[in-house]
Chain A
Amino acid sequence: MKKFDVVIIGGGPAGMAAALGAREQGASVALLERDDRLGGILNQCIHNGFGLHYFGEELTGPEYAKRFRDKVLADKGITVFLEAMVLSLTEDRVVRAISPTAGLMELHAGAIVLAMGCRERSAGAIALAGTRPAGIYTAGMAQRLSNVEGYLVGKEVVILGSGDIGLIMARRMTSEGAKVKLVAEIMPFSSGLKRNIVQCLNDYDIPLRYSTTVTRVTGKNRLTGVYVAPVDEKMNPLLEKEEYIPCDTLLLSVGLIPENDLLTGTSVEMSRVTSGAVVDEFRQTSVPGIFSAGNVLHVHDLVDNVSEEAFVAGASAAKFSKGELALSETVSVLPSNGVRYALPQKVHQGEGKVKIYFRVDKVYRGRTVVVESGGEVVKRKKTLVMAPGEMQNVEVDKALIRGDLSIYTEE
């Protein structure tokens, strides 16, 4: 049995930033990562576009990860366990893990930070009709095969979903000589970043069709083509308008799901909207001493936000383990009228500022974001464009909080 002030599960950008945050408070830290190196999903994101906010310069994923990794590995107060997969955790903070070098391990934690990232929705999850040939991949799987293993999955590509990984892969495969024939998005808007649509599709003349889906796939051993069709307002495909596109590859970029399986059987309160835990501004869950940050909490589009959020979670976990996280009453943050979710969902009354992250439910132009507390408007922010693919935030003065916070948009 080993004891640590803070045990962090997952060694991606969230886990690494949490470790540094906890160290700043002088805590002893264990960082468990199931892969054979730190960095998480960043290790396969070899494109530019990371760190503009956090470091003020454009880095590739591996470069961004390296900045944190170097600091983590240099810190004697952080014990890193690689190839260490966490199998279970309990509410009294016992973490069980397995690794080839240490076998079964049991760690006792003063506080836990969850930083397990997310996984991609699969073809099965969307009940894709048709045959079951090779040639159908989640975009992240294809990305790993090309960027880490060095192998390209195909030459004629259709992409279902316009999530960021799919958009990035459209550009990657094009630059490797593949032809991306279509990106089909079932929604009337993209879930990806505007800048990725411009840089990865428009710059290469790759067509993006909204309100369109793949209705079935063909081919016995290898994919030979897909049928696509427009959908009505209820997302039902209009099969009479079905069109066949020959291709050998279908990439799916149809959503990311926070990897919270470890919480099954605990009483940690979960949000149905984010599929992550319900947290306060310190990223503490409903179970005291269990914190959550990064993509396991809610899917982020920018790693910079992940690092910022996780640093706070790590520092707060360290304070909790020392009994120094003194907390006052909480109020709830309630989204409505165009705001799909807001995070944190709970805020403590007191001093300082709190940054509320939120996503809208469709594309809005020229709207104002309003935050109210106890019937009083505490914040108003004019925006030009808000899209579901881009996380927004507003900052609120805690001293103004008089009751539950409601956050909404208005014309």
Chain B
Amino acid sequence: MEKFDVIVIGGGVVGTAVLRSLAAYKAKTLLLEKASDVATGASRANSGIVHAGYDAETGTKKALFNVKGAAMFPSLTAELHVPYQKTGSLVAAREGGLPALQALYERGVANGVKVEVIDRKRILELEPNISPEIAYALYAPEAGVVSPYKLTIAQADHAVINGAEIRLEEKVVSLEKTADGFAVRTEKGEYFASYVINAAGAGASEVNALIGEDAPTETHAVGDYYILDSKEAGVVNTVVFPLPDEKGKGILVAPTADGNVILGPTSRKVPHEVAEENEVTREGLALVREGVGRLIPCVNLRSVIRVYAGTRTAVGSDFIIEESKKVKNYFMLLGICSPGLTSAPAIGEYVAGVAAEALGLIKKEKMRPLPARFHLTKATEEEIEDKIASDSAYGRIVCRCEKVTEGEILEAIRSPLPAHTVDAVKRRVRAGMGRCQGGFCRPRVMEILSRELNIPLSKIRLGDKGSEIAPYEVKDGYEKV
């Protein structure tokens, strides 16, 4: 049985943040993820907003980790080469909404967040397309947008090049306390860990139940989204929210960190059994359209390139971030809903610190930096020429919409945490994320994966097991190139 100092369960933005922070210590660490890649749960399908921190109730863990986390984003994303822009955010209110804004303002101040209430004239300077109905807004200049899956993947890659291990498609199915630690069993193997961290998102309560900890009932709320073509970029500059209501922060309009426009989310309660299905509904989309119309009515819905949904998991009203009192050396992260993405880096640092103290781990002198990926669209002419000279694959464009080269796709497949599915490639390099949605490049990405992984094309998957894209062989009459 392989032995580890720490095992992290769950490869979302929280689990990988913990793993990356643990990689700063001299320790043997392992992350177990049940899906075919990291960032396939809530950390893939969310709004990607780095919240400033005025929203959470003062004194809660949400407020604490949100504010700490948000402050880490500029340097963290620079270090990990993750798309992030400090756009600022607006909570837009109509005439009569001033008292509600004032309350948010005061909470912001109490939480230590830079906020101000601005009038229509100032709003128009920031958002020329704002609805004529909007009279006031709460402006938070420190808010921003980030690519949530790229952050998760970069944290994972950074942890791996610093000695951590990640095993995919290994669902934790049993967890047993032994004399000096835990026996952790997955569908594939058994591991020993001195310390276990449960960061299993929507599965965290189930994991708690495995070890006899309280398994609180989770509530799940689906959010539907539209993504618009990058040619619509510029219709909105900041993150524009409506006034929050009892369901949450409401339907927003924002630029994405990769240059598209995002509209959503709704908040529809769903039962636990379907919490991972992420089903988009027509009613949900209709609500998004309505909500957007109240903020930025000129948004062009004919430029939609994708609709999707993500599912929030909450337990009560605050995050549960604590070491178990019942089970020694077991740490629980439950109900990490919004602002969980913003909070993740701070949560990672904190949890790693607690585990390190429990095990008496020592910090490494320094960590190996994560090398930047090559991006054709972000490189200078000289860089491109050099790259093509070193490997001609960098001159071969595979995804025509996002201009992704074969070289970049090969890099993704050969990453520290390798991509072995079409969606995993997509999340790393954007092949298939543009306006044709893989209509052109998907078969080509499949060919490259098949060649690199040395498996037949029929075995290439979109994502998890059972998602083979072209599973059968043609009997006759095709033209092999």
Interface residues of A (CB under 8 A from B): 34, 36-37, 43-44, 46, 62, 83, 85, 87, 98-104, 119-120, 122-125, 127-134, 138, 140-141, 144-155, 176-177, 215-216, 218, 220-222, 261, 264
Contacts and interface: CB of A to CB of B under 8 A. Distances in A.
Nearest to A123: B437
14 contacts: A99-B395, A104-B388, A120-B436, A128-B307, A130-B279, A131-B279, A134-B462, A141-B442, A145-B470, A149-B443, A152-B472, A221-B464, A221-B466, A221-B467
A124 B307 contact: yes
A44 B472 CA distance: 18
Nearest to B407: A100
A363 B465 CA distance: 46
Given A102-B395, A220-B464, A221-B464, 20 more contacts: A37-B481, A83-B395, A98-B397, A99-B395, A120-B439, A123-B437, A124-B306, A124-B307, A127-B307, A129-B280, A130-B280, A134-B466, A138-B439, A141-B439, A141-B442, A141-B443, A150-B478, A176-B474, A220-B277, A264-B231
Nearest to B475: A176
B430 interface: no
Nearest to A37: B481
B436 to A, nearest CB: 5
A373 B470 CA distance: 55
Contacts of B435: 119, 122, 125, 261
Contact of A140 (B394, B439, B447): B439
Residue with the greatest number of chain A CB neighbours at <10 A, chosen from B403, B447, B479: B479
Contacts of B466: 134, 221-222
B210 interface: no
A150 B395 contact: no
Contacts of A127: 226, 285, 304, 307
Contacts of A37: 481
B392 to A, nearest CB: 4
Given A125-B305, A127-B307, A221-B463, A147 B279 contact: no
A125 B439 CA distance: 12
Contacts of A176: 472, 474-475
Contact of B473 (A44, A98, A151, A215): A151
B118 interface: no
B463 A101 contact: no
Given A122-B436, A124-B307, A221-B464, A147 B396 contact: no
Contacts of B478: 46, 146-150
Contacts of B473: 150-152
A81 to B, nearest CB: 12
A234 B55 CA distance: 41
Given A130-B279, A134-B461, A151-B457, A104 B384 contact: yes
Most buried by B among A100, A102, A176: A100
B458 A34 contact: no
A131 B465 CA distance: 16
B345 interface: no
A288 B443 CA distance: 38
A176 B477 CA distance: 10
Given A141-B439, A148-B443, A150-B474, A125 B396 contact: no
Interface in B262-315: 276-282, 285, 304-308
Nearest to A127: B307
A31 B458 CA distance: 35
A133 B439 contact: no
A8 to B, nearest CB: 17
Q: Which 9 pairs show the lowest CB-CB distances between chains A and B?
A: A151-B470, A124-B306, A100-B392, A100-B395, A122-B437, A221-B466, A134-B467, A134-B462, A152-B472
Interface string B385-424: 1001100111111001101000000000000000000000
B381 A104 contact: yes
B392 A101 contact: yes
Given A46-B477, A100-B388, A140-B439, A153 B469 contact: yes
Given A128-B307, A134-B467, A140-B439, A85 B397 contact: yes
Query: Could you say which of A43, A62, A154 has the most chain B C-beta atoms within 10 Å of its C-beta?
Result: A154
Nearest to B460: A151
A93 B474 CA distance: 45
B126 interface: no
A98 B388 CA distance: 10
B400 A34 contact: yes
A103 B479 contact: no
Nearest to A175: B477
Given A127-B226, A138-B439, A148 B481 contact: yes
B468 interface: yes
A138 B441 CA distance: 12
B471 interface: yes
Interface string B191-226: 000000000000000000000000000000000001
A85 B396 CA distance: 8
A50 to B, nearest CB: 14
Contacts of B465: 221
Contacts of B468: 134, 222
A216 B395 contact: no
B71 interface: no
Contacts of B457: 149, 151
Contacts of B458: 151
Contacts of B479: 43-44, 46, 62, 147-148
Contacts of A221: 462-467
A192 B442 CA distance: 25
B313 to A, nearest CB: 17
A119 B385 contact: no
Given A128-B307, A152-B470, A104 B226 contact: no
A218 B279 CA distance: 8
A44 B402 CA distance: 23
B437 A124 contact: yes
